[in-house]
Structure formats: structure tokens, C-alpha cells
Amino acid sequence: MTPAMELPLWVWLATIGGFCLVLALDFWLVARNPHEPSFKECVGWVSFYVSLAVIFGVGLLLLSGPAHGGEFFAGWITEYSLSVDNLFVFLLIMSRFQVPRQYRQKVLLIGIILALVMRGAFIAAGAEAVARFDWLFYVFGAFLVYTAWKLIGHEDEEAEFSENLALRTVRRVLPTTDTYHGARLTVHLGRRMVTPMLIVMIAIGTTDLLFALDSIPAIFGLTKEPYLVFTANAFALMGLRQLFFLIGGLLDRLVYLSKGLSVVLAFIGVKLILEALHHDGVSWAPEIPILVSLGVIIGTLAVTTVLSLVKSARDAKKTKAVEPETVER
């Protein structure tokens, strides 16, 4: 069993302060010049956030050992991959609320910050719960296996966005304008009213929290350390805005992504159940090493990504081959 991380308070404060500083810089740049980012800009920012995560993970490897470093990388890759799948829904939300393209960066950034704050509270509650109630790992494991099965069973269905309870409550309580007023969240039109800009930010943030219902149990299946759970989630969320614009046109081509994620979730669910059985004294139930978990996660996602791109390329060639015949007729 991996020894627990005993971190002083200043490490937590320094880490949270570092995240806040980077997000504040990001927000300042977005607010200063609202625009739809170019491909080059997106590549630069995604590379920056990925590099930060890798440097942080390498630092953990050197300072805390390969076990904790491996757990961070496994958790971060899993959360980042699940976040890519969530971008489908973010795209639906943007279309549903007809967000002006130059303001989409700000909407995503504020929504992600809201999600990060809410996930922090969710992680704290989850860490306290799993520390007190060992049987929760059976629940988490079963839930992840069920989620994986559901993901496969519904992968061909058309994705839809439905307003959650929090969003419906905000709409009912706060007077809302019918049109956008630039990037403003509120406007005074005889009385103070909120704009659709605030509503869509709440939609992004609360919808991401619903996604956490499977991603948080998944990462607790890879590490029990609250610090690693939080940092892996933070790094996965921080680069999500630029990733949205970078792979927006690529999302439709990742046709097997849901299958890959379902395999990853099912694996982590089984891993959780086996480790819970092992800790309860069942001799035949093995503990799966974190390096094996990391290999399964990376391998599965790599294979599904390659297969997706190959299939999309073949489908594109078939479409081009059929189009001339259709034109001639």
C-alpha cells in the first residue's frame, strides 16, 4: 500500500495560490481582448497547461516517489480524457444559448472556475467520506462499471442538453434579458437584470459538476490522496478552454472515444472493487499496481484515438467517392 501523503498547510495554500495566479492571468488576457482564439494560440496555451501538469507530476516523482507521481499522472490523464468527452456537451450549450463567438472564451473560463470551486468542495466531502466508510469503494466501483455500461449502451444516441435544477432555479428567481449586452453579466433596464452571459456560465459550471459524478469516483479509484485528486482535476480543467477551440472540429472524428472511456471507467471500477475486497481480507483479490493502471489508461485511449481517426479518414474517402457519382446523376 502506498504511504499516505502528510502535507503541511502551506503546501495546500501555495498550490491553490499558484492555480489562482495562473487563472487570474488567463482571465485578464481574455477580458482585455475578447476574441475567438486562433489555432496557433490554442496550441500554445494547451501546450503550456500540459507542460505545467507534466512538470508538476515530475516534481512529485522526485519529491514524493514514483507511487504518488504515477497516481497523479494516471488521475490527470483520466480526468483530462473525460473532460474531452464533456466538450461535446459544452458545444451543445454554446449553440443552445447562441453565445457570440468572441465571448466564448470568457464563458468557458468563468464556467470552469465555478466548476473548479464546486469540485473542490465535492473532493473534500468525498475524501472525508472514503476515509470514514470503506464500503463506499464498493459503491464507487459498482457505479463506475454501471456508468461504463451505460456509456456503451447510449453511445449512438443523439446528445442533448437539458437544463438542470440549479439553472432552472436561477432562471426562475432572477429576471433575465432576452439578448446579450456585450460581455456584461448584468444590465440596468428599468431594473437590474442578468444577461444570458451569466446564465450560460452557470450552465457550464453546474453541468461540469454533474460530470464530476463519474470523474471524481474514477480518480478516487486511482488514488486516495485528496491533494492528488484536487491537483489532477485542477490541471485537467484549466486547459479545457483552449482545448475546446483546438479540437472543436476534431470532436466528431473521435467516434470511438466513448468506447475507450467506458473501458477505462470499467477497469477503474473493477480495480476499486478488487482492492476493497483485498483490504477486507479476501486472499484471491489482487491489488493492481498504479503502473498497470497507467498503462491500461494510456494504451486504451491511444488505441481508441488512432482507430477513431482511421475510421473517420475512411468515411471521408467514401463520401468523396460517392459525391461525384451523385453530381453526375
DSSP secondary structure letters along 203-257: HHHHHHHHHHHHHHHHHHTT---HHHHHHHHHHHHHTHHHHHHHSTTTGGG-TTH
Mean pLDDT of 23-37: 79
Three-state secondary-structure class, residue 309: helix
Q: What global pTM score does this model have? A: 0.75
Q: What angle do CA 112, 164, 194 make, to 5 degrees?
A: 65
Mean pLDDT of 34-59: 86
| Cα torsion through 135, 141, 147, 149, rounded to 10 | -130
Mean pLDDT of the chain: 80
Measure the CA–CA gap between 147 and 135, rounded to whole angstroms: 19
Residue 240 is placed in which grid cell?
479545457
Model confidence at 301: pLDDT above 80: yes
Pick the closest to residue 235 from 43, 56, 42 (CA basis). 56
Model confidence at 48: pLDDT above 60: yes
Mean pLDDT of 216-220: 83
Model confidence at 111: pLDDT above 70: yes
Domain ranges of the chain: 38-318
Question: pLDDT at position 60, please?
Answer: 92
- pLDDT top residue among 138 and 55: 55
Cα separations in angstroms, 130 against 21, 120, 144:
31, 15, 16
Q: Which pLDDT band, with edges at 50, 70 and 90, does 59 fall under? A: very high
Residue 131 is placed in which grid cell?
476515509
List 192's β-bridge partners, or say none.
Answer: 188
Cα separations in angstroms, 152 against 55, 145, 148:
34, 11, 6
Question: pLDDT at position 328, please?
Answer: 52
Question: pLDDT at position 54, please?
Answer: 94
Model confidence at 141: pLDDT above 60: yes
- pLDDT top residue among 49 and 275: 49
Distance from chain centroid for Cα 223: 17
pLDDT digits (tens, 9 = 90+) for 147-205: 888 777 655 544 555 566 667 777 777 788 878 887 788 888 878 888 888 888 888 77
pLDDT digits (tens, 9 = 90+) for 63-94: 988 889 999 999 999 888 877 766 767 777 77
Measure the CA–CA gap between 129 and 226, rounded to whole angstroms: 11
Question: pLDDT at position 52, please?
Answer: 93
Question: pLDDT at position 252, please?
Answer: 65
Q: Per mean pLDDT, which range of 46-55, 103-112, 252-261, 318-327 is the poorest?
A: 318-327
pLDDT digits (tens, 9 = 90+) for 225-280: 889 999 998 898 887 777 777 776 566 677 787 788 888 888 888 888 888 887 77
- pLDDT top residue among 320 and 233: 233
Question: pLDDT at position 18, please?
Answer: 92
pLDDT digits (tens, 9 = 90+) for 1-21: 566 677 888 999 999 999 999
Question: pLDDT at position 58, please?
Answer: 95
Residue 17 is placed in which grid cell?
495560490
